[in-house]
Amino acid sequence: MTAPSPRGPRPSATLRGVLALALALPVTAAASLTTAGATPVPQRPAPRDQGPVGHTLPKTGTMTGSGGAVASVDPVASQVGIDVLKRGGNAADAAVATAAALGVVEPYANGIGGGGYFVYYDARTKRVSTIDGRETAPAGMTGTSFLEGGKPMDFTKAVNSGLSVGVPGTVATWQAALQDYGTRSFSQMLAPAEEIARRGFVVDDAFETATADNAKRFAQFPATASLFLPGGKPVEAGTVLRNPDLAATYAELRRRGPSALYRGGIAQDIAKVVNTPVTVPGVMVPSGTMTTADLGRYQVKRLAPIHSTYEGHDYYGMAGSSSGGIAVAETLNLLEEDAERTGVALHDVDDVQYYHRFAEATATAFADRNRWVGDVPGVPRQQLVSQGFARERACGFDPAKAQQRPIAFGNPDGAYGGCGTALGKAGQSNDGQATTHLTVADKWGNVASYTLTIEQFGGSGMVVPGRGFLLNNELTDFNFRPMTEGVPDPNLPAPGKRPRSSMSPSIVLKGGRPFMAAGAAGGATIITTTAQTIVEVIDRDKTAMGALGARRISSRNTAATAEPQLINSATGAALKALGQPMTPAETIGRGTAIRVLGRNLFDAGAEPTRGGGGSAMVVHQGKHSKHSKPSKPSKPSKPRHR
Ligand code: GLU
């Protein structure tokens, strides 16, 4: 018998089976969402009395074991991924199935009306590659689309509108991921999600709160209100939320294929509501210009990842329209340079110096990201993540005091020496606080790190009538006008352009093999959360959940936040004394991560508490299995000395 291939055989397109509608588990026994390896479109709707899916699944932020691992914000979605792995699917298959399920159970943070970034380590080729599935501005967008009378449009007005909606990239991302790396069909991987949408899921406290927080704007759009504000009130925790329109949309996608979102009835409905938002009487919101031609021409971009090294590890992240990979890589380079300059490894410093160094590094990386990164030609990516640039930029770091904010941006011109000359100052950009990140690893060694979003919680606030999904407001990630007068801004709106993102799905290798994968939700804090998660594992010997649960600081040059547990501690007081700017933020970021402990042995981690916590799962629980070979825990390397 030959060893199973990481990719495995493609199932026959003619395979027929009844989706695990046979899944008629009573609510109390619904411990698994078995997809039965079956395929296509159910011939008839599931009986109503099947009850909601996954009601009693445990929600745990950490699990160690073999056979594969999935970490997401939601146990129902993580279980979908685990079931795919159990039945022989690989990490790409499971990531797509998990994401499709998240579109149902976390509809305010992601879904087929949005976009995202997919980073993948392929065990067969031993290479990391990426898919940029970012939303794209329609052809009708111009540099002044978000100006009114020459001034930036009110941000809230821009969010709740057709104008903010970019052409969604999520469905095309799933198609590309399955095509490039998967072993299962698109239809199969959407089956569990369709089932959840039809049978419903039990609303939790976080969902109720998010609905209540958005109730006013949701009430402006009848299609949104009828789904999330039944009887005019936010859906309540403990009730079952069914979304038959979304189930039908998933069914149509499964029947017609991914192009169904970009051509035909669904595309027409998207373009229609963007151009003529359907609001309650008396409410007017700006309309957009998206056409079915804009939808029809949407394509993902397959891009080489950002790559840099950090303390004996290889970091891989997103390039293209996301600034995430560059900013995380620059942060890591700066930390490495700081260790070099001071002669003390990050591993060996106390908490105060750890957070101080980290804040100085992220603030500097943000100054550079804001000035140089966007969806424009000629972004100096290689230079921004070069060690030479970091050496020049770390020159002003002082263990005894924080740099004056805002830090001027650097000049990534390839000619580095001394302290270089910092250039003008760049301000801060608009970012929301939503999004979701999922991480998957399989027994063959493939790893997927996938962040997706509809921008704000609830996106544009507009559900496509009759289709059951929210449209994004991603185009508000453009700067409405140049951030700094007289300084070129790479993130201004333009036709066909992708707004700059902070999403940072990341994969770290050591000795050429997967070491860990991580990413986060949380607007611009995604970058700092992801970088901190990686550093907590590499330099502070944390487990995946331990790294995710650490107290956070997010210093983003002009904006600087920290969690109250940090600010109000002795460490916080010492950071203040160093001049480290920190505004309290109740929680910062929300991530997931997987550490690969050995061949087929995983430490899956999710957020322990923030946002109600996340869900980490493995196929076979337990520290060791006959299939796994634990490796020694990684020791941080000493800083290099020149
Ligand atoms: N739109 C944000 C970005 O792409 C993510 C949304 C959020 O997390 O607020 O960076």
Atom of ligand 1 nearest to the CA of 435: 8
Pocket-testing residue among 73, 373, 453, ligand 1, by greatest number of atoms within 8 A of Cβ? 453
Q: How far is CA 394 from CA 149, 332, 333, 358, 433, in A?
A: 42, 11, 9, 12, 29
Strands 301-303 and 513-521: unpaired
Q: Counting beta carbons within 10 angstroms of the beta carbon of residue 578, is it exposed (0 to 12), middle (13 to 18) or buried (19 or more)?
A: middle
pLDDT at 432: 55
Atom of ligand 1 nearest to the CA of 522: 8
8 Å CB contact between 398 and 353: no
Protein residue with its CA nearest to atom 7 in ligand 1: 523
Atom of ligand 1 nearest to the CA of 502: 10
Protein residue with its CA nearest to atom 5 in ligand 1: 523
Q: How far is the CA of 385 from the centre of ligand 1 (A)?
A: 22
Residue 167: enclosing H or E segment and its boundaries? Answer: none
Read off the pLDDT band of 423 (50, 70, 90): confident
Read off the pLDDT band of 624 (50, 70, 90): low
- Alpha-carbon distance 355 to 550, whole Å? 11
For residue 190, give the amino acid letter.
L
Q: How far is the CA of 431 from the centre of ligand 1 (A)?
A: 6
For residue 633, give the amino acid letter.
P
8 Å CB contact between 364 and 422: no
pLDDT at 434: 77
Asked if residue 253 has pLDDT above 80, the reply is yes
Residues β-bridged to residue 313: 310, 510
Q: How far is CA 565 from CA 61, 380, 545, 560, 585, in A?
A: 20, 38, 17, 15, 10
Atom of ligand 1 nearest to the CA of 500: 4
Pocket-testing residue among 501, 528, 529, ligand 1, by greatest number of atoms within 8 A of Cβ? 501
pLDDT at 422: 80
Q: Is 89 helix (H, G, I), strand (E, B) or coil?
A: coil
Q: How far is the CA of 321 from the centre of ligand 1 (A)?
A: 12
Q: How far is the CA of 303 from the centre of ligand 1 (A)?
A: 20
Pocket-testing residue among 435, 451, 497, 500, ligand 1, by greatest number of atoms within 8 A of Cβ? 435
Asked if residue 441 has pLDDT above 70, the reply is yes
pLDDT at 427: 62
Q: What is the mean pLDDT of residues 65-80?
A: 97
pLDDT at 55: 62
Asked if residue 51 has pLDDT above 70, the reply is yes
Q: Which residues 6+ apart lie within 8 Å of 268 measured at CB?
A: 292
Pocket-testing residue among 452, 526, 561, 587, ligand 1, by greatest number of atoms within 8 A of Cβ? 526
Q: How far is the CA of 505 from the centre of ligand 1 (A)?
A: 12
Q: What is the mean pLDDT of residues 145-157?
A: 96
Protein residue with its CA nearest to atom 8 in ligand 1: 523
Q: What is the mean pLDDT of residues 556-566?
A: 93
pLDDT at 546: 98
Q: How far is the CA of 388 from the centre of ligand 1 (A)?
A: 30
Average pLDDT, the chain: 89
Protein residue with its CA nearest to atom 4 in ligand 1: 501
Report residue 80: phi and psi, to 5°.
Answer: -60, -45
Q: Which residues of 514-535 are buried (b: 16+ CB within 10 A; e: fewer)?
A: bbbbbbbbbbbbbbbbbbbbbb
Which conformational region is residue 150 in: left (phi greater than 0), alpha (psi within -120 to 50 degrees), or beta?
left
Atom of ligand 1 nearest to the CA of 433: 9
Q: How far is the CA of 1 from the centre of ligand 1 (A)?
A: 47
Q: How far is the CA of 141 from the centre of ligand 1 (A)?
A: 20
The secondary structure of 546-602, three-state, reads HHHHCCCEEEECCEEEECHHHHCCHHHHHHHHCCCCCEECCCCCEEEEEEEEEECEE
Q: Is 435 in the active site? A: yes
Catalytic residue among 98, 291, 435, 528: 435
Asked if residue 513 has pLDDT above 80, the reply is yes
Q: How far is the CA of 392 from the centre of ligand 1 (A)?
A: 30
Q: How far is the CA of 344 from the centre of ligand 1 (A)?
A: 35
8 Å CB contact between 517 and 490: no
**pLDDT tens per residue, range 117-150:** 999 999 999 999 999 999 999 999 999 999 999 9
Protein residue with its CA nearest to atom 1 in ligand 1: 455
Q: How far is CA 215 from CA 220, 236, 335, 482, 528, in A?
A: 9, 12, 43, 32, 30
Read off the pLDDT band of 400 (50, 70, 90): very high
Pocket-testing residue among 369, 455, 470, ligand 1, by greatest number of atoms within 8 A of Cβ? 455
Q: How far is the CA of 439 from the centre of ligand 1 (A)?
A: 17
Residue 485: enclosing H or E segment and its boundaries? Answer: none
pLDDT at 430: 55
- Alpha-carbon distance 451 to 589, whole Å? 13
Q: What is the mean pLDDT of residues 178-191?
A: 98
Q: Which residues of 454-490 are buried (b: 16+ CB within 10 A; e: fewer)?
A: bbbbbbbbbbbbebbbbbbbbbbbbbbbbbbeeeebb
8 Å CB contact between 52 and 207: no
Q: How far is CA 531 from CA 63, 202, 301, 347, 358, in A?
A: 22, 33, 24, 15, 9
- Quote the Cα angle for 635-328-131, to 5°: 110
Asked if residue 636 has pLDDT above 70, the reply is no
Protein residue with its CA nearest to atom 3 in ligand 1: 501
- Alpha-carbon distance 409 to 346, whole Å? 24
Q: What is the mean pLDDT of residues 342-368?
A: 97
- What residues are in contact with ligand 1 under a 6 Å CB criterion? 431-435, 453, 455, 474, 477, 501-503, 521-523, 526
Q: How far is CA 11 from CA 8, 37, 102, 251, 336, in A?
A: 9, 9, 24, 19, 47
Task: List the beta strands (DSSP E) in 384-465.
Answer: 436-442, 447-453
